[in-house]
Structure 1
Amino acid sequence: MKIKLFILSITTLLLGASHAQQFIDKGTIEFEVKTNIKKSMGNSSWVAMLKESLPEFKTSYYSYSFANNQSIYTFDRWADGPRLPEFLRRGDESNVWYYNFTDQKMSKQKSVFSSNFVIEDSISNIEWKLTNESRLIAGFNCRKAVGKIMDSVYVFAFYTDEITISGGPCSINGLPGMILGLTIPRLYSSWIATKVIVTKTDEKSITPISGKKKYSYKLFSNTLDERLKEWGGNEDEEDRKWREQLYWNALL
């Protein structure tokens, strides 16, 4: 009898371990994206009156679908509350990110200066430093990593290796698993996974973005520089910060 109980206990433990080691390679993740718009707009005089009529945060929800080591990240809906002005909504609703991690290729559509740009290039590398800090997000154990993008912008991510794709919100990727939590302090923005759905994934929707004209990452960056110079404006500290915010968000 004792031998039977021992064998049963070992079998249960092995089955439990087998279940714990199952990895997810296909699914859909919902992200809540929150940006402090009052801080991101700066403190210049031309926005002082406008800021009084705006909420402190804008909150939206995005969908990240992945299968076959490819992903697409798209806007889903706004959180309940007052409707935001169009200039604060346009980019969020139009932007799309597609990534193919097998071929190391990406394409994304970004709305800037009231125009949609399609960027197609290789996936950029992000240098990451792993830490010992951990956090539970959407039911997954996640480990913290710190990275840097665009030479000077730090990002703080929490990823899980239980989801095998090396992706994340927007263009943030390159960790040994899926990023479920992300903060970029200099953009006053955070991304947090609210749920992971593995029972239904529209694989046909995970396709590269089409467009008549496609920009490389470098050409798009140069185009942004030229447009910002044409736009003019004051050369004070607040104006410089606002331009940086626009530039970083466009390249994200």
Structure 2
Amino acid sequence: MKSVFTFVLVLATNILFSQNDFQGKATYMSKTTMDMSRFEGRSEQEKKQIMARMKNFLEKTYTLSFNKTESEFKENIKLDAPGGSSGRRWGASNGKGSIYKNLKEKEMIEDVEMFSKRFLVVEEMEQPKWELSTETKKIGQYTCYKATLVKVDTSVDFGSIFGRRGRGGAPKSDNKEEEKEPEVRTLAVTAWYTPQIPVSSGPDSYYGLPGLILELNTGKTTMLCTEIVLNPSEDLEIDKPKKGKKVNREEYNKIIKVKTDELKERFQGGNRGGGRRF
């Protein structure tokens, strides 16, 4: 039954994909919950102030522009009003720029700026091992189907910089035997996609389903599509990123780990010097 269900979905998607000029734009609202246990000992008033300052980081909107073979996912940045708080700079994108996907070439490029340097993180798009379900729900006017995935989480853990130890934390052990390899982190993902929109793409770096992903749940973050415009009157421009240092995901994570380790050491009262350079 499951294989028949999958075949029907793929067949329907392929028929819709035959439209040569198919394109569209989807807007997503993203919300992330934060573990407040790290602020134990703070008053309720202080916690509310922290949450208010973190709002720009925890609540964002994005736009996914797509056609049959390409897509571009970007955060919608709002500029501060004159005289407004500059706190927006911290929550603006957490290093995120845009994510370009090319289904035909099986290439994904994340255009990202971190520590004042621009990178193009290039990855080969392998088919994700989605588990398809017959469970459905409505998102707007679209019937969506549920799919789940468990993947290795290769993202950089920026939260470790400001861990609970804070300043004056325990010094790093000199015993190499005590230094263990970091544990492999996994991420449980739930996606809701609609075969009514024949695009095998979605928000962030996700793709590979027989229809556009309209809702995505990854860890503590939920992305929900709030608006879709199909075949707009003006052609969409989907640009492949070209400016920046080309690296693969492993190389990028190693570079960022070096810089975040330096930042963590300075934050905890260690080396206050200039640190290494790229």
Question: Deviation of residue 28 (structure 1)?
Answer: 0.7
Question: Deviation of residue 69 (structure 1)?
Answer: 1.1
Counterpart position of 1:87: 90
Is the alpha carbon distance of 1:201 and 1:159 closer, same or farther for their aligned partners in structure 2, counting shifts above 3 Å?
Answer: farther
- Confirm or deny that 1:163 pairs with 2:194: no
Is the alpha carbon distance of 1:110 and 1:150 closer, same or farther for their aligned partners in structure 2, counting shifts above 3 Å?
Answer: farther
Aligned residues: 210
TM-score for both structures, normalised by structure 1: 0.70
Counterpart position of 1:73: 73
1:69-218 alignment runs, 5 A limit: 69-77=69-77, 85-91=88-94, 95-150=97-152, 152-185=186-219, 188-200=220-232, 203=235, 205-218=237-250
Q: Counting helix residues as a fraction of each chain, which structure ranks higher?
A: 1
Question: Deviation of residue 115 (structure 1)?
Answer: 3.8
Runs of 4+ residues deviating >4 angstroms: 21-24, 44-51, 201-204
Query: Higher mean Cα deviation, 215-224 or 201-210?
Result: 201-210
Gapped regions of structure 1 (runs ≥ 5)? 1-17, 235-252
Aligned 8 A contact 1:106 1:208 in 2: no
Aligned 8 A contact 1:155 1:182 in 2: yes
Aligned 8 A contact 1:96 1:110 in 2: yes
Structure 2 distance, partners of 1:27, 1:195, is 11
Aligned 8 A contact 1:26 1:201 in 2: no
Query: Higher mean Cα deviation, 199-208 or 148-157?
Result: 199-208
Q: Deviations over 1:106-130 (max 9, x none)?
A: 1111233454322123124422111
Q: Deviations over 1:156-178 (max 9, x none)?
A: 10011122221111101111211
Gapped regions of structure 2 (runs ≥ 5)? 1-11, 79-83, 154-185, 267-278
Structure 1 distance, partners of 2:109, 2:40, is 37
Structure 2 distance, partners of 1:201, 1:46, is 55
Identity fraction in percent: 22
Question: Deviation of residue 134 (structure 1)?
Answer: 1.2
For the aligned residue pairs, the C-alpha RMSD in angstroms reads 3.5
Q: Deviations over 1:58-103 (max 9, x none)?
A: 322211111141001112245xxx96542111437x5101100011
RCO higher in 1 or 2 (8 Å CA, sep ≥ 6)? Answer: 2
Q: Deviations over 1:186-233 (max 9, x none)?
A: xx2111111110131765521211124111122112223333333335
